[in-house]
Amino acid sequence: MTRHGSPGMEVPTPMRENRGMQRNTRQRSAILEALSRQDDFRSAQQIHEQMRADGETVGLATVYRNLQALAQSDRLDVLVGDDGETRYRQCEATGHHHHLVCRECGRTVEFLAPELEAAMSRIAREQGYTDLDHTLEVFGLCTGCEAARAEATAR
Amino acid sequence: MTRHGSPGMEVPTPMRENRGMQRNTRQRSAILEALSRQDDFRSAQQIHEQMRADGETVGLATVYRNLQALAQSDRLDVLVGDDGETRYRQCEATGHHHHLVCRECGRTVEFLAPELEAAMSRIAREQGYTDLDHTLEVFGLCTGCEAARAEATAR
DNA sequence: AACGACATGACAATCATTCTCACGAGCAGT
DNA sequence: ACTGCTCGTGAGAATGATTGTCATGTCGTT
C-alpha cells in the first residue's frame, strides 16, 4: 500500500479519479456535506454563503477550487446557466446522464435516454464528426410551480 | 406606421421581433455584415476585433448591445461555452435547430432532429414538467481536424 | 432644416472566477 | 508522538467578460 522505494514506480490507477485531491481536508468534507443536503444546482457563491450560515469557516477560493476538482473527478455535475454562472449538484446517477430542471424552483430530475444518445451519434457520424460529446439539458415548470403560476394568472 | 396621437395605443406585433432595435445604424449593418462572413461561433470581442481589422470604427459596448438585441429577436444563434464566454453565429435555419460543432476549428453544421424533440418532450411530460425548453449541442472533431490529429499522432 | 428619441462610444463599474503567496495542516516514514 | 515534505487553504489582488453611465451623435419624422 505504501509507495516507498521502487524508483520510477508510477502512481497506479486510483489516482485517475482523484485529480487535484490527494488529501482529505475538513473543508472538502464540509463542502460535500453541504451539497448532500441540496437537491438543486447551486453556484459556488450560494454554496459558500450557505456554509457560512451553517457556521462553517471556509474561504470562497477554496469552495471554487474544490467544486472544480470534484467536478473533474466526476463526483459532481456541472451546469452552466444562460447567465454564464456555473452551478453544481451532487447526482444520484453515477455515469452519463441528463437533467430535467424546473426553471422556477430548480427542482431537478435525472434521466437516461439511450435513444437520444444513439440518434445524436448517428447524426454526427453522418456529417463525418468523430470523438463525440454533447450537452443536453431540459428546462420546464415542475408540477408545483405550474400550479402556482396557474393560480397567479387566474386571480 | 407612426405612433403619434391615439393615447393608450399599443405598439402592434411587428415590434415583437425587433426588441431594442428601432433604428438602422451603420454600426448594426456592419456587425451583421461581419457575421455573414463567418461560419463559426464567435465571441463579441472576436467580432469586434475583426471589425477593427477590417477598418470599421465601432465601440465594443455597441457590439455587445447589438449582438444581444439580435439574439433576442432570433436573428442570431447563441452558444455559451464551457468557459462561460458567449458566442454568436448567423444561422441558415430560421426556426428551432441544433448544432454540431468541431471543438478544434469551430466548423459548425446545423441540424434538425424531430425524433429528439419528441423523445425529450415525452420524458419531460412523464415527469410532470410543462412549458418545456431545452439546450442541445453536439461537439466533436470534423473530418479535417480528425485527419490532422491522426497525422500528428502518427509521427 | 429642426426636433425628439434612440443609439453610440469612452470609460467606469460590476461580478464571477482565478491567481498569488504566506501560512497551516494531512500523511508517510521514523 | 515527532518531523518533514507537500499540498491545501485563506485573504486579497488581479483578471476578464460583460454591463452601466452619460454626454454626444444621428436616424426618421415633422
Percent of chain B with pLDDT over 70: 88
CATH topology of domain A1-90: Arc Repressor Mutant, subunit A (1.10.10)
Query: What is the predicted pLDDT for the residue at A82?
Result: 86
Q: Is the alpha carbon torsion for B23, B29, B32, B35 positive or negative?
A: negative
DSSP character for A18? G
Chain A residues with CB under 8 Å of B143 CB are 128-129
pLDDT of residue B16: 52
Residue B73 and residue B17: Cα distance in Å, rounded? Answer: 5
The predicted structure's pLDDT at residue B35 = 97
Cell 397567479 maps to which residue? Answer: A152
pLDDT digits (tens, 9 = 90+) for B64-87: 999 999 999 999 999 998 888 999
- Residue B2 clears pLDDT 90, i.e. is over it: no
Q: Which nucleotide is nearest to B61 (CA to C1')?
A: C9
Weakly modelled stretches of chain A, pLDDT under 50: 1-15
- Sheet containing B77-80: give its strands across: B42-43, B86-89, B77-80
What grid cell was written down for B142? 470534423
User: What pLDDT sits at residue B17?
Assistant: 63
Q: What is the rounded distance in angstroms from the CA atom of residue A144 to the CA atom of residue B109?
A: 38
Alpha helices in chain A (DSSP H): 26-36, 44-53, 60-72, 114-126, 143-154
CB B100, CB B108: distance < 8 Å: yes
The pLDDT of residue B56 is: 95
B1-90 against B93-155: fold identical: no
Indicate if CB(A57) is under 7 A from strand D. yes
Q: Which residue has the cell 455584415?
A: B33
Q: Which of A82, A100, A145 to mutate to test the interface with B (most CBs of B within 10 A)?
A: A100
Measure the CA angle with vertex A103, ends A102 and A108; round to 5°: 30
Q: In the structure grid, which three cell numbers stand for residue B148, read together?
A: 490532422
Cβ-based contacts of B123 with chain A (< 8 Å): 100, 111, 113, 138
Considering only CA atoms, give the Rg of chain A: 20
Q: Comparing B20 with B80, which gets the higher pLDDT? A: B80
| Residue positions counted in chain B | 155
Per DSSP (E only), the strands in chain B are 42-43, 77-80, 86-89, 98-102, 108-111, 130-141
Helix or strand (DSSP H, E) at A42: strand A42-43
Set of chain A residues whose Cβ sits within 8 Å of the Cβ of B140: 124, 129-133
- Is 3.30.457.10 the CATH classification of the domain at A93-155? no
Q: How confident is the model at residue B19 (pLDDT cuts 50, 70, 90)?
A: low
Residue A51 sits at the chain B interface (C-beta within 8 Å): no
Q: How far is A140 from chain B (nearest CA, A)?
A: 4
Phi-psi region of B113 (alpha: psi -120 to 50; beta: other; left: phi over 0): beta
Q: E strands of B10-112, at which residues?
A: 42-43, 77-80, 86-89, 98-102, 108-111
The answer to whether A58 CB is within 7 Å of strand D is: yes
Q: What is the pLDDT of residue A2?
A: 38
Are residues B131 and A146, on separate chains, in Cβ contact within 8 Å?
A: yes
Distance to chain A for B116, nearest Cα, Å: 6
Looking at the complex, does the CB of residue B137 fall below 8 Å from at least one CB of chain A?
Answer: yes
Q: Nearest to residue B127, comparing CAs of A107, A117, A151? A: A107
* Contact A129/B at CB under 8 A: yes
C-alpha cell at B54: 477590417
Give B99-115 pLDDT, tens digit per residue.
999 999 999 999 999 99
Within residues 25-84 of protein chain B, the ones with CB less than 7 A from nucleic strand C are 25, 27-28, 57-62, 65-66, 84
- Residues across chain A: 155
Grid cell 439580435 is found at B70
Residue B154 confidence class, pLDDT cut points 50, 70, 90 = confident
Question: Which residues, at least 6 apart from B136, have a Cβ–Cβ distance to it below 8 Å?
Answer: A120, A134, A135, A136, B98, B116
Nucleotide nearest to B43 (CA to C1'): D17
Domain locations along chain A:
1-90, 93-155
Provide the pairing of β-strand B77-80 with B86-89.
antiparallel
